[in-house]
Every structure is written in C-alpha cells, then in structure tokens.
C-alpha cells in the first residue's frame, strides 16, 4: 500500500524536478520517504483496526452456539430428572380430580334419569293424553298426505281449544323440565295453530309444512323426555 502510494507520488513530483535540484533534494526526499512510509503504515493499521471493530459490531452474535445448546440440553435433562417425581405426582392428582368429577357427573345424571322415570311411571293419565295425541296426529297426517283437508279439519277440531289439545298440554307441562323440552312444546303449539289455520284456508302446501313442523317438534320432545319408546305409533 505504501509502495503504491510512493510510486504515484513520485510520478506527480518527478516532472517538476530539474537535474540541478535533484541532488539537493535527495537527502530531504529520503527522509520524506521514510516519514511517508511510517505514516502510511500507521494509517493502514488504524484502518484495519477500525474495519475489524466495525465488522464485529455488524455481525450478529449467534443466539445459541453448539456449546450453549449442549449446556441447555443437559440442564433441561437434569431439571427433568429432579422434577420427574413431582410432575408425576401432580399429574396423578389432576387425574384423580378428573375421575372424581366424572364420577360425580355420572351419579347426577343417573339420579336425574331415575327421577324422570319415576315421574313418567306415576303419570299414567298424562301418558294416555299423549297417546291420544299420537293417534290424532297420525290421522291428520294421513288425511293431508291424501290432500283430504276436510278430514284433517274434522280431526283437528277447528281450534286449539279442543280437549285433546288441552290434555296434551297438561302432559307437556307436567313432564317438561329442561329449557329445550319447553322450547319444543312451544314450537309444537305454534305450528299446530298454523296447521289449523292452513287447513281452514284449504291451503294444502302450508298445511303440509305446518304438520311436519308439529310432528317433528313432538317427536323430539318425546326423545328428550324419554317417552319415545313408551308411546305406540312413534
């Protein structure tokens, strides 16, 4: 680097020097050359130092070296070995708690089923009302399927104030306990009113739709209450 710099400098200086001044400048040129070499060497070292420092600041430090990874792995294994017993104990406690909660839920569900079955067994009259409802819906469905709205209307009775509808609601009120069961009862009653209105208007398509909704709501209610297999015709 210094030699190249001196060669360039000499090429600039040599045309301006005359033979007469060459000898007089020889000694001073020699000392100047030594000074220039020293300064350029110093500058070169300084630039190397600065470049090295800059490169060190720019290069990202590895997040995890192989040695660091090995240390982390060994530490994890040691901690796992020390805490293995406590982890297994905690897991056993949680599993036991889950088992207790599950067992308690099973007991509660069984208790509710027994209570519900007891209510159904003691509701022979209400089951009779529901059995009559099944027969009525069966006749109405057959008449609508045959497009015989006159027969369907005579079975329906023309309003929701008929005895069989009132009796069915007595059974619904006694045997319905959950919100979903009560929702099915409301759906049945509203769709039954629509069915009566459609049959009265001699609207066969609306009558079919209303009948399907009524029958589906009643069937789902019997499933929820556990009565599905205890009524004939379902």
- Per domain, the residue ranges of the chain are 2-13+28-56, 125-230
35-46 pLDDT, tens digit each: 444 444 555 555
Query: What's the topology of domain 125-230?
Result: 1.20.120
Q: What is the mean pLDDT of residues 147-155?
A: 97
Segment 82-133, tens digit of pLDDT: 555 555 656 566 666 677 788 777 877 676 676 677 667 777 999 999 999 9
pLDDT above 70 covers a percentage of the chain that reads 54
pLDDT at 31 over 50: no
pLDDT surpassing 60 at residue 1: no
Average pLDDT over residues 172-186: 95
pLDDT digits (tens, 9 = 90+) for 191-230: 999 999 999 999 999 999 999 999 999 999 999 998 988 8
3-state secondary structure the chain: CHHHHHHHHHHHHHHHCCHHHHHHCHHHHHHHHHHHHHHHHHHHHHHHHHHHHHHHHHCCCCCCCHHHHHHHHHHHHHHHHHHHHHHHHHHHHHHHHHHHHHHHHHHHHHHHHHHHHHHHHCCHHHHHHHHHHHHHHHHHHHHHHCCCHHHHHHHHCCCCCCHHHHHHHHHHHHHCCCHHHHHHHHHHHHHHHHHHHHHHCCCHHHHHHHHHHHHHHHHHHHHHHCCHHHCCCC
pLDDT given for residue 24 in this prediction: 43
């Amino acid at each position: 680097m210094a030699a190249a710099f001196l060669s360039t400098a000499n090429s600039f200086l040599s045309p301006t020097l005359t033979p007469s001044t060459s000898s007089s400048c020889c000694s001073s040129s020699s000392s100047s050359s030594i000074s220039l070499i020293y300064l350029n060497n110093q500058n070169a070292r300084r630039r190397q130092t600065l470049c090295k420092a800059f490169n060190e600041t720019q290069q990202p430090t590895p997040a995890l070296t192989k040695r660091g990874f090995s240390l982390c792995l060994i530490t994890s294994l040691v901690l796992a070995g020390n805490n293995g017993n406590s982890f297994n104990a905690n897991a056993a406690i949680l599993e036991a708690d889950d088992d207790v909660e599950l067992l308690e839920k099973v007991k509660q569900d069984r208790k509710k089923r027994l209570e519900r079955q007891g209510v159904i067994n003691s509701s022979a009259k209400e089951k009779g009302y529901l059995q009559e409802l099944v027969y009525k819906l069966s006749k109405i469905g057959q008449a609508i399927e045959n497009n015989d709205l006159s027969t369907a209307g005579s079975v329906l009775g023309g309003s929701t104030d008929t005895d069989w509808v009132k009796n069915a609601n007595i059974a619904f009120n006694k045997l319905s306990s959950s919100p979903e069961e009560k929702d099915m009862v409301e759906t049945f009653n509203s769709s039954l009113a629509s069915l009566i209105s459609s049959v009265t208007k001699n609207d066969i398509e609306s009558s079919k739709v209303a009948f399907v909704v009524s029958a589906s709501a009643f069937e789902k209610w019997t499933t929820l209450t556990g009565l599905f297999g205890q009524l004939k015709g379902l």
